[in-house]
Amino acid sequence: MDPDATTPPLPEPDALTRRFWEACRQGRLDLCACESCGHLFLPPGPCCPRCWAMRITTRTASGEGAVRTFAVYRRTYHPGLPQPYVVAVIELREGPRLVSNVVGCAPERVRIDMPVRARFENVGEFTLPRFEPAGPEKEPS
């Protein structure tokens, strides 16, 4: 087996996403903000997906959000990501959605609309924004 096989797959930053991942490394979840209409969005893009203005700045999100939906993987697709794990679409308080994991509680306790907050975790040379329950579902660590 490849000696790196137990390293999970990592993002491949490009010109559009590099700033997002750099902010994560510094413990910030940065949203794209349209200077023209104020729309906040993810994933990062070359223009505002609402008004097509090209002047885009960033705004740091609160890291608070809720689970819009989720799935519990019961099969291991990658040796670096053993099952079970929870993949979720998180809706941030500011509006944008992103795919992430819900961590810090048993998969059986995850619920749609459950409040969560960002928790930055280092994986290889990356820092991934994952989410843990903001309410009573959180397990003591």
Tell me the closest approach of the beta carbon of residue 33 to another protein, in angstroms: 15
DSSP string, 49-77: TTT--S-EEEEE--SEEEEEEEEEE-S-S
Q: Is 102 in the site for Zn ion (CB under 5 A)?
A: no
Tell me the closest approach of the beta carbon of residue 55 to another protein, in angstroms: 20
C-alpha separations of 29 from 34, 59, 60, 62, 97 in Å: 16, 8, 6, 8, 12
Among 10, 16, 51, 106, binds Zn ion (CB under 5 A): 51
85's contact among Zn ion, another protein, none, with CB below 5 to 8 A by partner kind, is another protein
* Residue 34 amino acid letter: C
Placement of tokens 């994986």 in the chain:
123
Count of residues that bind another protein according to CB under 8 A: 38
Tell me the closest approach of the beta carbon of residue 95 to Zn ion, in angstroms: 13
Q: Is 47 in the site for another protein (CB under 8 A)?
A: no
50's contact among another protein, Zn ion, none, with CB below 5 to 8 A by partner kind, is Zn ion
> 110: helix, coil or strand?
coil
Q: Is 11 in the site for another protein (CB under 8 A)?
A: yes
Nearest C-alpha neighbor of 94 from the set 132, 134, 56, 58: 58
C-alpha separations of 14 from 30, 65, 138 in Å: 16, 26, 34
Binding site for another protein (CB under 8 A): 8-12, 17, 41-43, 49, 68-75, 77-78, 81, 85, 87-89, 96-97, 99-101, 107, 111-113, 123, 126, 128, 130
